[in-house]
Structure 1
Amino acid sequence: MREKTHGQLFNKMTMQQADPNNHDSTGKLPIAVVIVNYNAGDFLTKCVATILQTVDSVVIVDNASTDASLSTLTARFQNEPRLRVLHNPANLGFSAGCNIGLGATDMPYVLFLNPDCKVEKLSLIRMLQVLESDPQIGMTGGCLVNPDGTEQGGGRRIIPTPWRAFVRATGLHHLSTFWPVLFPDFHLHKQPLPDRPVEVEAISGAMMLVRRHAIQTAGKWDEQYFLHCEDLDLCMRFRQEGWKIMFVPSAKAVHYQGTCSKSRPFFVAWHKHKGMVYFYKKFFRRQYPGILMHLVAAGVWLRFFIATLYYAFCYFVKFLKPKHG
């Protein structure tokens, strides 16, 4: 009975929201938005300004930002009852921030949204429409695009199992045109954009709409991840519990990727690769021989070492450049 009631409510809201002139406080979607912020600058305020046109509940979980992102936000939205800001004493990571935000909401649907995303006007409506179309759908994601309009990687993907990661690392994914099952490429954004919503294995945590009941059954975000791979983990557990994950190509958002992390490449690279090793051990250690899992871990850390050398080289070149003025 509850699902039917929400569906009826959604149909009424969709008709109201479809009118571009409707910006009043009625007809908002039954969605709480959780945004984890860390030094997102002006992007945070722009993100909130856009999303408040569609929903009545936005929770900002700030991971001890040191920039002006929060002061800019509060200056723009003074005494805004639909906006709540939670302050963490330290940077607890993305997963922990998401869980804190989730616990501060009670809506039947929750959108986890990065502060560097600009969601198009009807995107959230379209994602919710797909989520409501089937009670077995637990999660929907939209099409993340770069500022130039090209599709970004990560919005739709298959799980990078150890074999798939090996295929990608060795270049065997180029054979996916001939043998897609044996040599798959988990970067689905290189494939033609579908003309309708499709089921996928994983979507991006940058814009992820989930059914509250689904995340209650699958479990909250795993806080062993600090950043990166936590969205893959959540998608894995959703599918293990029988929930479908849908990619909605018409629900677009511009993602200014790396806004919160580009100033700390070594820190991000460390946690990204640490998360990869944890992800593989958590889900695949019983499916693959121990020696293979050790090789996978060695490959991940080799990749981290190469990335570190690259960042160090870039810093060195930047340091040597003559300063003008």
Structure 2
Amino acid sequence: MSDATLAPASIRAETRPSVAVVIVTADSGESLRDCVRQALAESEVTELWIVDNASIDDVPRQVAGEWTADGRVHLLPQTRNLGFGAGVNRGARHTVADYLLILNPDCMLSPGSIGRLLNSLDRLPRAGLIGAVICDTEGRPDPASRRRDPLLARALATLTGRKQVEGVTVQGPWLSGPIACDAVSGALMLLPRVAWQAVGGFDEGYFLHCEDLDLCRRLRDQGYGVWLDGAVRVEHGKGGSSRHRPVFVSWHKHRGMWRWFRRHDPAARRLWLAAMVWSGIWLHFAAGLPSRWLAGWRHRRRPSSGLAGA
């Protein structure tokens, strides 16, 4: 693969870059309204696609209707919940912009965030994807903003606290500029169209969770760089699906972990070890079932609780 193929489209002063935003929602609630408003405030956004995974709260239709006159907002209603990756793929097929921004419906962009990320990509000619530091509502960074591949040895080191082996989470201070990493959070990902097309988008074998790790790994396998810009902070409400449907989310998280392990971890070639990992993943899921079921039951009993989805 040539450097010309690997390089994102050049960002020149005389050529304004265009960005298509794709947001997948499934009963994500009112946060979608603010997410869309703040994304459209960024001058680089030329189109925004809301992929509605069969919501029943009617918010996606309302939000799209509010922006009809703007001309950039499009709604793609689905008859069933396709999952996150498949939903993004559906939306991306309709886009024509130079760059694709994958954004969670509860992510709130700060002014100038997209421009900063584009400038970082332009300085990194082999970059295929860049992310931002995802923060909670208190401004605390999420460690999942920057991760190593969850190889078995690293996952065990993280679980056991072993210091001799590097874990999945990258320790250390957040830098003020771009830094190469294995993976970033799928809550916000900005990619040049050429990189997205090179890997064919998300692997739809993942329904929810680990599809971001898989995308980053496949980009790197194709010779692209994955980067995090530590100077860009994005507020993420995080947890709507987990609060309302914790068992559903946990099931797909564990299923995604198993799929990633089989596809990318050399340890999966040893059948006895793969069998142990499979058993460990699903025993971990089973052990957490009572508490997750109880948490979901309590959330649904709250008068103000609304559906939230993947």
- The reply to whether TM is greater than 0.5 is yes
Structure 2 match to 1:297: 278
Structure 1 match to 2:305: none
Deviates more, 1:198-207 or 1:305-314: 305-314
Alignment of 1:238-317 (within 5 A): 238-284=219-265, 288-314=269-295
- Paired residues of 2:175 and 2:231 also in contact (CA < 8 A): no
The percent of aligned pairs where both chains have the same amino acid is: 33
Structure 1 match to 2:30: 42
Count of aligned pairs: 296
Shift of 1:315: 5.7
Shift of 1:191: 2.2
1:221-252 per-residue CA deviation (whole Å, 9 max, x = no partner) reads 10011100000000110000110011001111
1:65-89 per-residue CA deviation (whole Å, 9 max, x = no partner) reads 0113224313532333110111111
Q: Does the C-alpha gap of structure 1 residues 52 and 285 become closer, same or farther in structure 2, counting only changes over 3 Å?
A: same
What residue identity is the alignment partner of 1:30? S
- Paired residues of 2:241 and 2:249 also in contact (CA < 8 A): no
The separation in 2 between residues aligned to 1:115 and 1:122, in whole angstroms, is 18
Larger Rg: 1
Alignment of 1:161-200 (within 5 A): 161-172=151-162, 175=163, 179=164, 183-188=165-170, 190-200=171-181
Shift of 1:114: 0.3
User: Larger relative CO (CA 8 A, sep 6+): 1 or 2?
Assistant: 2
Question: TM-score w.r.t. structure 2 length?
Answer: 0.88
Structure 2 match to 1:130: 120
Structure 1 match to 2:18: 30
RMSD value, Cα = 2.4
What residue identity is the alignment partner of 1:219? G
Structure 1 match to 2:129: 139
- Paired residues of 1:42 and 1:72 also in contact (CA < 8 A): no
Could you say what secondary structure the match of 2:139 adopts?
A: coil
Task: Give unpaired runs (5+ residues) of structure 1.
Answer: 14-26
1:188-216 per-residue CA deviation (whole Å, 9 max, x = no partner) reads 2x521112210000001110001111122
The separation in 2 between residues aligned to 1:133 and 1:253, in whole angstroms, is 21
Structure 1 match to 2:308: none
1:108-161 per-residue CA deviation (whole Å, 9 max, x = no partner) reads 210000000001112111111111112210000001000001001311111110
The separation in 2 between residues aligned to 1:318 and 1:124, in whole angstroms, is 35
Structure 1 match to 2:11: 7
The separation in 1 between residues aligned to 2:88 and 2:301, in whole angstroms, is 40
Q: Does the C-alpha gap of structure 1 residues 294 and 4 become closer, same or farther in structure 2, counting only changes over 3 Å?
A: closer
Deviates more, 1:112-121 or 1:126-135: 126-135
Q: Does the C-alpha gap of structure 1 residues 70 and 201 become closer, same or farther in structure 2, counting only changes over 3 Å?
A: same
